A and B are shown apart, each in its own frame.
Chain A
């Protein structure tokens, strides 16, 4: 399986070459185009209940698509819904990443996708919802972001503070605490912002240069209100 990012920048697309018999799991709706040798199957990762819990608890789409080169080698073109970068990670069988619900684009079949329940406080305050995706296993993992992706490399014990709405993915060797950025809990609750994650290394933290919620609020002000 080989991948190549086309048109890097705000509107990228990724080309994945599949050998005969290979397949890739993609977020449903990510497939843009493919060779006629590729079959598209909808598959519920983690069984029906797993899919259901993802659907209701993370807001993730019910199905992942499986794109399978069952009738010969071929290629698929994948693209995320939002403008932003695509990152390719190569899972080595021991590194694991937590991915916020909109960050997953596609993964090789050896990549295991797990919905994980967070602690109550993380779920409430981190802005990722109560469930996040845990990626483990071996093979290619494609993540997408809103805006550009920035990789933060943390040495053991090194700390970094990230606004929770800019998080995309982070290694499970990191730890984090949720802190409020503004003074006063009331301000934090009413503004909906003001929560940050204090990460502690070692490991990687991928952040996105734009905040989807902030962008949504910015767009909304131009939408005429009808009664």
Chain B
């Protein structure tokens, strides 16, 4: 008795669900299956089926197996062949009625494989381009990636960092300073058409001279910064700048740039969940997020335009920046992330002269009272 390795699996009612291994042969008139002897059977059993009784299709996980079905003596039989030589022999011997649909199926398999190869090549190419692009700092790719992140994601991200931060600060809940900051913000945000952000502004009691924005519209202003301002337009200038970091999605751009590869891949592949996890870990790093020079310039210029649209005197922004920079005794934290340079002032002044002249509208509050409520000495900064 010759023991051969089986080359086909036969399925039928009396066989196990995994199929009975058998040795299939293609003969002139049809197929012959020889079942290998198993423990309880006494010997080899054979079954033959003529081509005329077969129905043939392509099947299996990759649709690359030949599936022949017929009505056997003991019920429906299904035979799975995957050996290429056997399939070739079948195609040569079987009548056209069987081989034509098989050729069609084989063609389809080839097309699917081809398509799969193309998809992988495209994805591979995209990934490679993303890596190279990010490697060389392509802002376009970063922007493309950022565009795909919904505002709600950005808000979730900023929100957790915002609450983490505020939990450790003395927050000013009400009073003239809060009212003033709220009014200034509303004056500006009311002029933004189609603004997707609901800005949340908190005044923190601290002598730190700073203000910052988190992705999603969370803005923190320290009372230290407000005390240094001689008029409300100066604070509005800083707010306008910070609001634009949010509106231009600078935080997100930075994160995507820092996370680079992982982030872009996750976004491109639609796995925003994974990205969310990474971003959450970064939450605390958002506080120390330093924007790039191009982003600062953009925030300056769009901030100036925002002030202008809101009919707030933009000169306050420029004078405040300049005055604080001159007097900087190392305690103005805002300048550690926003270094004042003559180029920066020049850019702002140039932009200001380009804007059409208009009469500014005053705020409803009195800045002297606001500052007094914060405990600042009247008449100039201390």
Which residues of A are in contact with B by a Cβ distance under 8 Å?
92-95, 98, 117, 119-120, 124, 138, 153-156, 170-176, 189-190, 192, 201-204, 227
Contacts and interface: CB of A to CB of B under 8 A. Distances in A.
B176 interface: no
B60 interface: yes
B5 to A, nearest CB: 4
Contacts of A120: 116, 119-120, 123
Interface string B99-134: 000000000000000001001100100000000000
A183 to B, nearest CB: 18
A175 B60 contact: yes
Contacts of B19: 95, 171, 173, 202-203
Contacts of B269: 124
Given A93-B6, A94-B21, A120-B123, A190 B273 contact: yes
13 contacts: A92-B21, A94-B5, A95-B9, A95-B18, A119-B116, A153-B18, A170-B61, A173-B61, A173-B80, A175-B63, A189-B270, A189-B271, A204-B17
Interface string B253-278: 00000000000000001111100000
B273 A189 contact: yes
B273 A173 contact: no
A117 B124 CA distance: 13
A98 B61 CA distance: 9
Interface of B: 5-9, 11, 16-19, 21, 59-63, 65, 69, 76, 78, 80, 82, 116, 119-120, 123, 269-273, 284
Contacts of A155: 11, 17
Contacts of B11: 155-156, 173, 202
A73 B8 CA distance: 34
A153 B5 CA distance: 24
A203 B11 CA distance: 9
Given A175-B61, A189-B270, A190-B273, A156 B5 contact: no
A80 to B, nearest CB: 23
Contacts of B9: 94-95, 173
A200 B60 CA distance: 9
A192 B266 CA distance: 13
B21 to A, nearest CB: 4
Contact of A153 (B17, B61, B123): B17
A176 B63 CA distance: 11
A90 B218 CA distance: 61
B172 to A, nearest CB: 25
Contacts of A175: 59-61, 63
Contacts of B119: 119-120
Given A95-B19, A154-B17, A190-B273, A117 B76 contact: no
A222 B133 CA distance: 41
Q: What 6 A-B pairs come out closest when comparing CB atoms? A: A153-B17, A202-B11, A93-B5, A156-B78, A92-B21, A94-B6
Contacts of B5: 93-94, 138
A94 B8 contact: yes
Interface-centre pick from B62, B119, B284 (highest chain A CB count, 10 A): B62
A192 B276 CA distance: 12
Nearest to A97: B18
Contacts of A172: 60-62, 65, 82
A171 B61 CA distance: 8
A173 B21 contact: no
B123 to A, nearest CB: 7
A77 to B, nearest CB: 28
Contacts of B116: 119-120
Query: Which of A98, A124, A155, A192 has most B Cβ within 10 Å?
Result: A155
In the complex, which of the residues A119, A154, A201 has the most CB atoms of chain B within 10 Å of its own CB atom?
Answer: A119
Contacts of B80: 173, 202
B42 to A, nearest CB: 20
A227 B62 CA distance: 48
B18 A171 contact: yes
Contact of B120 (A98, A117, A189, A201): A117
A156 B11 CA distance: 7
B284 to A, nearest CB: 8
Contact of A174 (B21, B61, B120): B61
Q: Which of B60, B269, B270, B272 has the most CB of A within 10 A?
A: B60
B7 A173 contact: no
Contact of A124 (B65, B120, B270, B272): B270
A125 to B, nearest CB: 10
B245 to A, nearest CB: 25
A92 B59 contact: no
A123 to B, nearest CB: 10
Contacts of A204: 17-18
B51 to A, nearest CB: 20
